[in-house]
Structure 1
């Protein structure tokens, strides 16, 4: 939940009612909660950010704890999208025109659209002309839109850290055509450190503060001719990120090839389980890659600890991650930054395993190490822009 969420007993009651509706997959009941709140005089922005957003954050938390399945999570998110549409067109919703146009979009390959949708709705409520482009907008299409329609600000959203290189390209491209960029979402860090590292013009942690920042004005960037990735991230000159990303298929194959000898339980995997395991290893390599891109160990170690917790919640031993790190370490031994990252990740995982020693995860419920944990993992939705 965003720290800027306004929690009162009345709001908590609405959250509980909406939670009951979405987990029961009852769209009519969910819409009734929202419409009743509007009829009772609660403003639309508060319904969006203090009722709908916290419930979606809870959906993510409950999924991570294995108390909601993937299908339930998707159903709840779909209901939230439709309820937002109902709210947006309710006769009680009024806007005050503001001078300006904002383009709101998710970066390419980013499918977690709700945070961006919430910001778009808040800006619309505050009177801005908003072009909401939705999920996974390729950068060339975004720039084409700006050339055709113009914008005072572009607001980019990303929830998954592995999208940061793509976000970097989008930020740079927008600035090159003279449009300032505000970014938000979990991918940029709780303190916005990744946003600043990538040269964004502004970062805000939630939709309310993002709307205020846009209203206050964000300076138009001076286009920098020939700006390259290494201008913001000089460590990319060592080529480790590029080489690891290019080696992704080979790294996945090598980990799979050695998995049975290092983790004997893998010998009993079905074809489907091996397929899921390959996908999960690929996501681990992706997170290693983005950690190299940003030169930030935490992007990999935090992912690893999060994944270990997800596995334990699903009664899969987190120790199954150790051979993945071992094989990657052997394969990347000639890469100093990757070696440092993997050594650090091994130490962090060791600490996690030590704190959970003696806990028997029991028999896995048909999932492989990482299945439904790494690949396509839903993040808790918030009101981040």
Structure 2
């Protein structure tokens, strides 16, 4: 079976890189016709292909366009599998009704789409709301459709504030909320931190989690029982960064987080101006290179802000290590990160937590300098 799956994965991967959605779908349907379970196709072939193309992009082995093509082909394979008789016969909805949505601003929808299909195969009626769902519409749908459980997806940590608001809004309906996706950390720490009732690392684990129900002593699926929340608030009563009770989103963020987000563009301008003095080669950069440099500085500041939001310097360190690997794969010396970080730290006057977070990240970079980088930071 493992050899067959490896062969099938290779066929679909090759077709996907060629943009051959018909060839990929034909290979998948032939495997289903030979008796491959639909879950095995989705979880052991399609999902690994998505991870593979993400790693290939990080290693500079495929372009952004190729990554999008592979995802589009994977969507075609998933759609073909969902219409296969083996799958359609099981879309009965006997376990209840689930809403699956990407949080506001999150456009990486494929993981949520895959989860929706796995839950359908597991006996759930699923409302798949798609990418970038505005938060105010989530509780409206949950109430009107009488949804039993809400599953929220976010891939980028920069979506965590939106996820926080979505979790709060959905919990006000009284329905349990489970979170998933790389944004919430490899162990789900940020899902619990922001008040979700549960977290699962992938679609299979989510289906199993829903089937199992609350563990002994839990009030929902994975109730709060200790730890710290955003900006150091107790997790036993989930809070927003200002200390208000979870479910009542803050009107003003934590001071340092708010200051950084409000002054981000000004800080980017300052860093770009002074970085040219620190890196003489920038004088020869063309417009495309300058644009990419500015975007990279923006990412450095965005992830710093999110690290403040969840009060976790290690999030920033992991991001910096990942970014160093991305730059190295593109023949950009990772040493260029240090002057940029120095200039960011200089601009953080009156923000001791932010400066300490940058220094923590710089130290992590120094310790790991020259080592192999992981394929994904979260």
Query: What range is the shorter-chain TM-score in?
Result: 0.7 to 0.9
Shift of 1:238: 5.2
Select which of 50, 57, 61 maps to 2:55. 61
Aligned length: 351
User: Of 366, 370, 375, which aligns to 1:350?
Assistant: 366
Inter-CA distance 307–12: structure 2 relative to 1 (3 Å threshold):
same
Partner secondary structure for residue 154 of structure 1: strand
CA-CA distance at 1:315 after TM superposition: 0.7
Contact persistence 1:102–1:128 (CA under 8 A): yes
- 1:208 pairs with 2:224: no
More contact order relative to length (CA 8 Å, sep ≥ 6): 1
The aligned runs of 1:43-54 (5 Å cut-off) are 43-54=37-48
Identify the residue that residue 281 of structure 2 maps to in structure 1: 265
**1:185 paired residue number:** 181
State the distance in 1 between where 2:152 and 2:123 align: 19
Q: Secondary structure of 1:105's partner? A: strand
Q: Deviations over 1:100-129 (max 9, x none)?
A: 110000111111111111110011112211
Alignment counterpart, residue 163 of structure 2, candidates 167, 187, 194: 167
Q: Distance in 2 between matches of 1:283 and 1:87?
A: 37
Q: Is the 8 A contact 1:60 1:380 kept in 2?
A: no
1:308-323 superposed matches below 5 A: 308-323=324-339
Q: CA deviation at 1:276?
A: 2.3
CA contact (8 A) 1:325 1:342 kept: yes
Between 1:89-98 and 1:336-345, the stretch displaced more is 89-98
Deviation at 1:228, TM superposition (A): 4.0
1:19 and 2:13 are equivalent in the alignment: yes
Q: Residue 3 of structure 2: which of 2, 5, 9 is its match?
A: 9
Q: Distance in 2 between matches of 1:227 and 1:194?
A: 13
For 1:182, what is the secondary structure of its paired residue? strand
Question: 112, 131, 137: which one pairs with 2:108?
Answer: 112
CA contact (8 A) 2:158 2:302 kept: yes
Asked whether the 8 Å contact 2:153–2:179 carries over to 1, the reply is yes
- Provide the rounded CA distance (Å) in 2 between the counterparts of 1:127 and 1:237: 41
What CA RMSD, in Å, does the superposition of the two structures yield over aligned residues?
2.5
Q: CA deviation at 1:52?
A: 0.5
Match 2:345 to one of 329, 333, 347 = 329
CA–CA distance in 1 between the matches of 2:168 and 2:105? Answer: 17
Partner of 1:246: 262
1:335-363 deviations in Å (ceiling 9; x for gaps): 1111111111111222343559xxxxxxx
Aligned counterparts of 1:37 and 1:183: Cα–Cα separation in 2 = 32
Asked if structure 2 preserves the Cα contact closer than 8 Å seen for 1:182 and 1:200, the reply is yes
Q: Could you say which residue in structure 1 is the equivalent of 2:230?
A: none
TM-score normalised by L of structure 1: 0.86
Residue 141 in structure 1 maps to residue 141 in structure 2: no
- The yes-or-no answer on 1:29 pairing with 2:23 is yes
Stretches of structure 1 that go unaligned for 5 or more consecutive residues are 1-6, 357-377
After superposition, what is the alpha-carbon deviation per residue over 1:273-302, rounded to whole angstroms, capped at 9, x for unaligned? Answer: 222222221111110000000111111111
- Separation of aligned partners in 1, 2:348 and 2:168: 30
Contact 2:276 2:283 (C-alpha < 8 Å) held by counterparts:
yes
Residues 60/228 of structure 1: CA separation in 2 closer, same or farther (3 Å cut): closer
Separation in 2 of the partners of 1:44 and 1:232? 43
SS at match of 1:137: coil
Supply the distance in 1 between the matched residues of 2:37 and 2:151 (Cα, whole angstroms): 23
Deviations, residues 324-381 of structure 1 (Å, cap 9, x unaligned): 101111010321111111111111222343559xxxxxxxxxxxxxxxxxxxxx9799
- 1:87 Cα deviation from its structure 2 partner: 0.9
Q: Which residue of 78, 88, 97 maps to 1:84?
A: 78
Counterparts of 1:142 and 1:88, CA distance in 2: 25
Residue by residue over 1:206-235, the C-alpha shift from the partner in whole angstroms, topping out at 9 and shown as x without a partner, is 11111121123355599x9996442579xx
Gap runs ≥5 in structure 2? 224-235, 247-251
Cα contact 1:199–1:232 (8 A) shared by 2: no
